[in-house]
Amino acid sequence: MNAQPEILEVADLCTRISTYLQPEQVEQVRHAYHFSDAAHAGQHRKSGEPYIQHPLAVALILADMHMDHETLIAAILHDVIEDTAIDRDSVSSEFGSEVAAIVDGLSKLTQLEFESQAETQARNFQRMLMAMADDIRVILVKLADRLHNMRTLSALKPEKRRRIARETLEIYAPIAQRLGINSIRMELEDLGFAALYPLRYRTIRQEMLRVRGNRKEVVDKIKDRIKRHLRQERLVAHVLGREKHIFSIYEKMREKHLGFSGVHDVYAFRVIVDSVDTCYRALGILHSLYKPVPGRFKDYIAIPKANGYQSLHTVLFGPFGVPIEVQIRTGEMDQVAEAGIAAHWLYKTGDGAAKSANKRAREWLRGILEMQQQAGNSQEFLENVKIDLFPDEVYVFTPKGSIMALPRGATAVDFAYAIHTDLGNGCVACRINRQLAPLRTPLVTGQTVEIVTAPGARPNPSWLTFVVTGKARATIRHYLKNLQTDEARALGKRMLERELETAGLGRDVLDSEAFAAVLTNLKLESVDRLYTEIGLGNRPAPLVVRLLQPETPVEDDAATKARKRRRGASEGSPVPLAIRGTEGMVVSFPKCCYPLPGDSIVGFLTAGRGIVVHQQHCANVVEYRSAPEKWLDVQWAPVVDREFSVELSLDVINQRGTLATIAAAVADANANIEDVSISERNERNSNMRIVVTVRDRKHLADVIRIVRRVNSVVRVNRKRA
């Protein structure tokens, strides 16, 4: 696979492209070659060959796809900005702004320094996709570049080979599939598999060679019989038989835990006809020739894949008991199946499959742009794109009958965000086939999905545990990040104003030169940023106030204040911070003690999370004794506007319907059950743990009183702190 490459000549390229490009365009490509050859003079690849061989090989790959002359020129020049003294302006003046934009989009960020290899990779990838959004030819050149690099991988060190191979399998092969470029995708997968798992690759390849003689005979017999049967029905078709490529066989073995002998359908047949109508006629003829396998027919002509791929797929019970896969499509569909988005350059004026592939690719790119705008950093963006490159898809319908393609495992929340960001942010429930269903329900092909929204609804952090699309994940994270920032700012302002009041300083100090100096000292650009840092627990408010009072002794100041708070000393004792229940994500109530309004509570500052509120007698308070500077005086506000979770322990008699009766009792007390678990203690009695939501201690007392009236309940207690 990695034999010594042959020496390529520019004449090879010009001869190949002269079959479909104008003579003046061929000359421009030739000129680009000489320009690049001069720029790369003296440079060599790791294999020892002149560097110009690489861009020439990339251009030849694109010439096989019949790409336009500007793409070919960009391929020949794709490394000149990065690796030579040539800059973008020189390329633009010599070959035009479009070529310069493609070449610039392919150049790495070599002038920037990053903390890790992963961050460097992510930033380069992010830049490439942004350039791809402006001109999709950027990714076509990149894929051809990656393909030639994979073909010549043997010259590199083993660890670098493995890193590049893994990146190819995780990112570039899925992108080729997403854009429908099947020919490049399959070769990238096989080359990546061979470099990453050489022993596994050799084993499967040897097994394929061992059985190839027998299988070739079977393939030829089936192919001849299909052709003869179609001819008898006066249907003109081109029939191809082929083996599946090595990586797809490995994936099937891995997913289904099969040995090589268990993978029967290692070859498939393609029937190419002249029209869509003939596709369906050919399907009927093949189903009369061999029996179809139930549940294995897919109509990608009526419902194309997200990358524009169209074909009829069926699996038949072939001769010798071997299942065979058959794909039926038109000539243009076949071109799109192999070249994907690149087929657009062959059918620029048409309204067929190539135009559809181009449209769908651009829709995907629009989604990528939205993810980029909402991602916190380059690595998060790269992870979201990886998530979005699922090869398997489900097809569901909107209430108006439009088709949506989503990754396998997608939920109603993914569906909502795929339609519109506002619909996702505002969804509270869904109907699947007109029946109410949980938002986390995985969708199945053919379902009709309707999203129910409500005014004031907002994304739930728990959605991140089940959404699968990159767009949904990025949008939810972006929203929650902004929400947490807003909530932290409001809480931080309250905390700082309270500390200023305790220190005898008025709010007007925030406008003083001394406070401006504090912001400069803390390297914060504004008072709002300071509020946010305080609210998130990254910067304690007492320490900020202490910077405004340089005469205050700094020795043991934080510990002294903490001790005063704990014993309730009057001198310098601050007014406790009122917990209103509306602080959102920056004030949390842990499950260890489930604090309720009315309980004695204590707060602790935790970096990045804000305030964690415990009951005063909670066992987990002990761990904060060694960090008194994190203690915070808190108390419940007179009016607390939210419901809180609390855990109850019930001893019950084992009777049919006990859980339903208890649930009804909780509902009668205007409370709701969040979670239930039951552990059997003996044949007669069980212990039940339920988590209910209540407003305060009084509401909890009402719930306990009503639950105690249930005949099968022996004992009910609140979980101890």
Least confident of 85-89, 326-330, 502-506, 528-532: 502-506
Q: What is the pLDDT of residues 208-225, one digit of tens each?
A: 777 666 667 778 888 888
Question: Would the pLDDT of 508 be above 70?
Answer: yes
One-letter amino acid at 84 equals T
Closest by Cα among 328, 355, 322, 107 to 218: 322
Q: What is the mean pLDDT of the chain?
A: 81
At 32, is the pLDDT very low, low, confident or very high (cuts 50, 70, 90)?
A: very high
Predicted pLDDT at 325: 87
Find out whether 581 and 637 touch, Cβ atoms under 8 Å.
yes
Least confident of 46-50, 61-65, 118-122: 118-122
Predicted pLDDT at 360: 63
∠ CA 594-595-597, nearest 5°, is 140
Q: What is the pLDDT of residues 81-131, one digit of tens each?
A: 888 888 888 888 899 988 888 888 777 544 444 445 666 666 666 666 666
Predicted pLDDT at 58: 93
Please state the rounded mean pLDDT for residues 383-403: 71
Q: Which two tokens stand for residue 410?
A: 């997608």
Q: Looking at 398-468, list the stretches that DSSP marks H as alpha helix, in order from N- to C-terminal side.
A: 412-419, 421-425
Find out whether 241 and 267 touch, Cβ atoms under 8 Å.
yes
CA distances from 658 to 651, 665, 713 (A): 11, 11, 8
Find out whether 99 and 89 touch, Cβ atoms under 8 Å.
no
Predicted pLDDT at 570: 40
At 491, is the pLDDT very low, low, confident or very high (cuts 50, 70, 90)?
A: confident
CA 649, chain centre distance (Å): 40
Q: Which two tokens stand for residue 716?
A: 């009910």
- In sequence order, what E strands does 219-307 have? 238-243, 267-273, 298-299
Closest by Cα among 298, 326, 345, 354 to 237: 326
3-state helix, strand, coil in the chain (%, to 5): 55, 15, 30
Residue 474: exposed, middle, or buried by beta-carbon count in 10 A (0-12, 13-18, 19+)? buried
Least confident of 466-475, 556-565, 590-599, 697-706: 556-565
Please state the rounded mean pLDDT for residues 365-382: 62
DSSP secondary-structure letter at 710? S
Question: Would the pLDDT of 638 be above 80?
Answer: yes
| Cα 273 to Cα 411: distance, rounded to the nearest angstrom | 37
One-letter amino acid at 444 equals V
Question: Would the pLDDT of 40 be above 80?
Answer: yes
- In sequence order, what E strands does 294-410 have? 298-299, 312-317, 323-330, 393-397, 403-407
Predicted pLDDT at 212: 64
Q: pTM (2 decimals)?
A: 0.58
**In which element (H, E) is residue 527 found?**
helix 527-535
Predicted pLDDT at 470: 81
Verify whether residue 251 is a known catalytic residue.
no
- In sequence order, what E strands does 280-337 have? 298-299, 312-317, 323-330
Question: Would the pLDDT of 35 be above 60?
Answer: yes
Find out whether 545 and 500 touch, Cβ atoms under 8 Å.
yes
| Cα 300 to Cα 336: distance, rounded to the nearest angstrom | 13
- 203-356 matches 10-151 in CATH topology: no
**Second CATH level (architecture) for the domain 644-718:** 2-Layer Sandwich (3.30)
Predicted pLDDT at 111: 41
**Second CATH level (architecture) for the domain 372-457:** Roll (3.10)
Q: Which two tokens stand for residue 475?
A: 């949008």
Dihedral sign, Cα of residue 73, residue 75, residue 76, residue 80? positive
| Cα 462 to Cα 49: distance, rounded to the nearest angstrom | 55
Catalytic residue among 12, 37, 83, 696: 83
CA 296, chain centre distance (Å): 29
- CA trace torsion 575, 579, 585, 586 (10° rounding): 10
CA 196, chain centre distance (Å): 23
690: Cβ contacts below 8 Å, ≥ 6 apart: 647, 648, 650, 662, 666, 673, 675, 676
Question: Would the pLDDT of 485 be above 80?
Answer: yes
Higher pLDDT: 211 or 324? It is 324
Catalytic residue among 68, 82, 98, 696: 82
At 675, is the pLDDT very low, low, confident or very high (cuts 50, 70, 90)?
A: confident
Do β-strands 298-299 and 312-317 pair in parallel, antiparallel, or remain unpaired? Answer: antiparallel
Predicted pLDDT at 284: 93
Please state the rounded mean pLDDT for residues 613-642: 84
Q: What is the pLDDT of residues 400-456, one digit of tens each?
A: 888 787 888 899 999 999 898 889 998 988 999 888 888 988 998 778 999 998 887
Predicted pLDDT at 710: 92
CA 382, chain centre distance (Å): 8
Provide the CATH number for the domain formed by 10-151 in this structure.
Answer: 1.10.3210.10
One-letter amino acid at 124 equals N
**In which element (H, E) is residue 356 found?**
helix 353-374
Higher pLDDT: 181 or 710? It is 710
One-letter amino acid at 301 equals I
Please state the rounded mean pLDDT for residues 657-669: 90
Q: What is the pLDDT of residues 685-718, one digit of tens each?
A: 889 999 999 999 999 999 999 999 999 999 999 9
Looking at the chain, the whole-number percentage of residues with pLDDT higher than 90 is: 24
Q: Which two tokens stand for residue 242?
A: 């082929």
Predicted pLDDT at 534: 85
Quickly name the fold that domain 203-356 has: Beta Polymerase; domain 2 (3.30.460)
Closest by Cα among 555, 556, 557, 539 to 502: 557
Using only C-alpha atoms, the chain has a radius of gyration, in whole angstroms, of 33
Predicted pLDDT at 220: 82
* Burial call 623-654: b when 16+ CB within 10 Å, e when fewer: ebeeebebbbbbebeeebeebbbbbbebebee
At 165, is the pLDDT very low, low, confident or very high (cuts 50, 70, 90)?
A: very high
Please state the rounded mean pLDDT for residues 561-574: 47
| Cα 468 to Cα 504: distance, rounded to the nearest angstrom | 52
CA distances from 229 to 120, 215, 275, 310, 467 (A): 57, 21, 18, 24, 48
* Burial call 25-46: b when 16+ CB within 10 Å, e when fewer: bbebbbebbebbbebbeeeeee
Q: Which two tokens stand for residue 345?
A: 């350059």
Please state the rounded mean pLDDT for residues 63-78: 89
DSSP secondary-structure letter at 261? G
- In sequence order, what E strands does 184-228 have? none
One-letter amino acid at 580 equals R
Closest by Cα among 678, 694, 572 to 645: 694
Verify whether residue 82 is a known catalytic residue.
yes
Looking at the chain, the whole-number percentage of residues with pLDDT higher than 70 is: 82
The domain spans of the chain are 10-151, 203-356, 372-457, 478-636, 644-718
